[in-house]
Amino acid sequence: MRLIDSSNDLGYDRIIIIPAKHYGRAVDRNLVRRRAKEIFRCYPERILEENPVQGRGHDIVLIVYPGKVSDFSLLESGFTKLLDRIYRR
């Protein structure tokens, strides 16, 4: 997995999940997108950071490579480690 982020002035976070080329069937690509969105939605530090008054937000791109994430727990642990890097700067 690879995570790319940049700041935005919208006051909220936006996320894009991109399965890498040749990830698999469409079913597999959509499954990893849904799972990553749910992990991001439930991530507690992101909820605490949301403050529209300050205008702080992040644009986050998650690139998922084939064969690296076969289980929800692996995706969750890897994605939360990457999110920790962003929100705990």
Domains and CATH numbers, the chain: 2-87 (3.30.230.10)
So what's the pLDDT on residue 46?
63
Alpha-carbon dihedral angle through residues 72, 8, 20, 42, given to the nearest 10 degrees: 10
Q: What is the pLDDT of residues 59-87, one digit of tens each?
A: 999 998 887 667 888 888 888 888 888 87
Residue located via tokens 């469409």: 26
pLDDT digits (tens, 9 = 90+) for 19-52: 988 888 888 889 999 999 999 988 876 655 555 4
How far is it, in rounded angstroms, from Cα 33 to Cα 23?
12
Please answer whether residues 53 and 40 qualify as being in contact, where contact means their C-beta atoms are separated by less than 8 angstroms: no
